[in-house]
A = this chain, B = another copy of it.
Amino acid sequence: MAHQVPSLENLIDQLERLPSIGRKSATRLAFHLLRAPAEEAKAFVDAIVQARDSIRECAVCCNLAEEEQCPVCTDPERDRTVLCVVEDPQDVGAFERTREYRGLYHVLHGTISPMEGIGPDKLRIRELLYRVANEDIREVIMGTNPTVEGEATAVYIAKLLKPFGVSVTRLAYGIPVGGDLEYADEITLRRSLENRNEL
């Protein structure tokens, strides 16, 4: 009834299914997409189709890739003795933006979450063990999120890695840079006290 144009209603419905897009945003986006010049709309649609067609998982680290292997795995400059294990491809981006980490990655594509029926077999853990067994890896950094699931997954994987004799480390907990102590939660503050460094 609202607009009474079925294909417009359908477009709004489709946009509303996207994460964190409500009815009003969906309507605004739909009108934008309708009014955009033809070449702009084509570029938008093509970007979705092309990304879905060309992106697959890197055969080594399970990160997103357009080739057999991702650009990090094929980069000869990277330190091949260190692996950072992350939950999602987005997390690789976060580490890359630090411009500090020079090792390789391993993307799990999720965390162990019994509540959501995600067991270890649904993650790329087998692929990780295969790498640790066959590559010359000395350290595995558990770069999962500081959540209950991320923590549990890190502990689970650390146990599995023990027999291989590699060093398994975890990201440091502490107060975020630029944050305000007043608003830090107690657990974070306690961890930041425990892990205090000499000045």
Contact = CB atoms under 8 A, between A and B. Distances in A.
Nearest to A6: B66
Interface in A1-60: 1-8, 10-11, 13-15, 17-21, 25, 27-34, 38, 40-41, 43-45, 47-52, 54-55
Residue of A49, A52, A90 ringed by the most chain B CB atoms within 10 A: A52
A50 to B, nearest CB: 5
Nearest to A32: B19
A189 interface: no
Instruction: Give the oligomeric copy count.
Output: 2
A34 B55 contact: yes
Interface stretch (A92-100, A132-140, A149-157, A159-167): A92-100
Contact of A64 (B5, B13, B55, B65): B5
Given A10-B47, A41-B52, A45-B48, 16 more contacts: A1-B96, A2-B96, A3-B64, A4-B70, A5-B55, A5-B65, A6-B66, A7-B55, A10-B50, A11-B47, A14-B43, A14-B47, A19-B29, A19-B32, A31-B90, A33-B51
